[in-house]
Chains A and B, each alone.
Chain A
Amino acid sequence: MFAIVLVLTAVFLGLYALGTDRAFQEVAEFEQDPTFQAVDERTLAGATLLGLAMFGTLFLGAVLAVFLTHAVVRGDAERGLLQPLVVRPLGRTTLLGARFLAAAVVCGLYAAGLFAATAGITYWTGSWWPDRFWLPAAELAAAAVVVCMLSLLGSVFLSATANGIAVFMLVGAGIVGGLLGQIGAALDSETLVDVAEKASWALPFEALYQDALHAISSESFGLTGELLQLGPFGGAQSAGGALWPWVVGYLAAAGALAAFVFGRKDL
């Protein structure tokens, strides 16, 4: 499985490098054109491309998270992998915590590393660097960790296949929620914006992704800033200071629920 992830990652980075190189060649031609003086073409192209790469990073991070955790409880119990471990003295909560920690570290480092790689490629091909680097890297890592937790929690209730499908649907729902918010903002629809906002808090990987998108171009203003705020695959909205405490509380609550149910589950 890890080989597949590495191959997919290499293909993704290769295509991203090719795409950004071509895009920045076009940008170099626009920059000479006085018609586009109101827009910082290089920033618009760089932030858009990196935003697209961040969507890819979130998706690949979610794939990795789901594959590492979708079968932790019911799936492994149905295959007979869990029973020999659970009867050892270490305890169910420890087992669950260890599985989460391992998956979270792998997925978090993977997402942050992939973001760093795409930011580096963007700089190498177009001499553009995001306004903030560490915050979006941490937020993408945290988004992958949230998906890990949702998948782990789902594994307590659902069989492996059903859980994998359910978590991918949740990830899709979160991203669609962001797109709805974008459309709602464009149409000035309070309802759509409200729905999108609630969805992003209910599924905080989306709020983290939006905040990360916002962070890479947080110092862009004027027409460039307005265009970037629309963001690719979800609005580039700042989530505010409550985001991190909410994410920590969300992870703690989901982890406690998973441990509580797993502790009382017949295997």
Chain B
Amino acid sequence: MPAALQTRALAKRYGTIEALRGVELEVGEGELVGLLGPNGAGKSTLVKIAVGLVHPTGGDATVCGAPAGSAAARASLGYLAELFRFPGWYSADEVLLLHQRLAGSNGGEAERTELLRLVGLLDARGRKVDAMSKGMQQRLGIAQALVGSPRILLLDEPTSALDPAGRRTVRRLLEELRARGVAVLLNSHLLSEVELVCDRVVIITGGSVVAAGTPAELSRARGVEIETAAGLREFPDATRDDAPHLVAELVAAGERIYEVRVRRTSLEETYLHAVGEDAT
């Protein structure tokens, strides 16, 4: 089965500005991948190429095996843009009905009810978009992206307008989507959010992928600290596997051990290091 999203040497140039420089990325079926990077790193350009809003100047991208931008690719995906708006005179239910027609979904009222329930808008299904808060519109946007049961969901800053409760709703939704086998590419600035829900994280800056891996892989070991009666002993090059040996040596040397800590870099520190910012 082809990857939900695959890019090969993907490049995009806007005049003299290189937004993407040969990006290689793969999102597997049912995988939840977080896309991190500073403003202007090329994250939104990458997502826009995947959904067919922007044309690449080099390389290629495929969605579920179909060229990005083709009708087959667009039929396989759901997308929530960073900046989006629905006609203010539509109700939440009408927005979803419109997108069911555009997507060729035959889910009917049952699908709309299920999606509104998923995003916590079931009680507001008849409310006009103009009468909704920004957070409600954001959740409606996520429901819209899920119309037609897409195989991959591309979310560009989906929680930017949400309060903490709304963000938790979205996290639960993402976990539920993963359980259903829907792949997700989550473009977000919220590292904690990405760390909490994503299977894999890709860090992009200056149009290139500079780090990629699971959150655990990116949170590298940064030494071992052992608190003894004589004070704190630091072993900066040691790893978790070295800890029992170090403790045994110290005990053999007559030290009394009170605490052993394996230090790890946080995702934030890894991110700041990868994008060339000072981590302190």
Contacts and interface: CB of A to CB of B under 8 A. Distances in A.
A89 B83 contact: no
A12 to B, nearest CB: 26
Chain B contact-residue range equals: 20 to 34
Contacts of B75: 89
Nearest to A90: B102
A81 B85 contact: yes
A11 interface: no
B84 A84 contact: yes
B53 A267 contact: yes
Interface string B157-198: 000000000000000000000000000000000000000000
Contacts of A90: 102
B52 A86 contact: yes
A81 B99 contact: no
B54 A267 contact: yes
Interface in B111-161: 141, 144
Nearest to B77: A87
Given A85-B102, A87-B79, A264 B52 contact: no
B252 interface: no
Interface of A: 79-81, 83-91, 264, 266-267
Contact of B71 (A91, A264, A266, A267): A91
Chain A interface main SS type = loop
Contact of B103 (A79, A88, A266): A88
A84 B144 CA distance: 8
Nearest to B79: A87
Contact of B74 (A80, A87, A266, A267): A87
24 contacts: A79-B85, A80-B83, A81-B84, A81-B85, A83-B81, A83-B84, A84-B79, A84-B81, A84-B86, A84-B99, A84-B141, A86-B52, A87-B52, A87-B53, A87-B77, A88-B99, A89-B74, A89-B104, A90-B102, A91-B71, A264-B55, A266-B14, A267-B48, A267-B54
Contacts of A88: 74, 99, 102-103
B254 interface: no
Nearest to A76: B85
A134 B85 CA distance: 42
A219 B71 CA distance: 55
Given A84-B144, A88-B102, A266 B53 contact: yes
A228 B206 CA distance: 69
B87 interface: yes
B81 A80 contact: yes
B84 A87 contact: no
Contacts of A83: 53, 79, 81, 83-84
B78 to A, nearest CB: 8
Nearest to A95: B102
Nearest to B49: A266
B238 to A, nearest CB: 50
Nearest to A88: B102
A87 B103 CA distance: 9
B61 interface: no
A260 to B, nearest CB: 13
A155 to B, nearest CB: 17
B53 A86 contact: yes
B209 interface: no
Contacts of B83: 80, 83
7 residue pairs, one from A and one from B, having the closest CB atoms: A88-B102, A80-B83, A80-B84, A80-B85, A83-B81, A89-B75, A267-B53
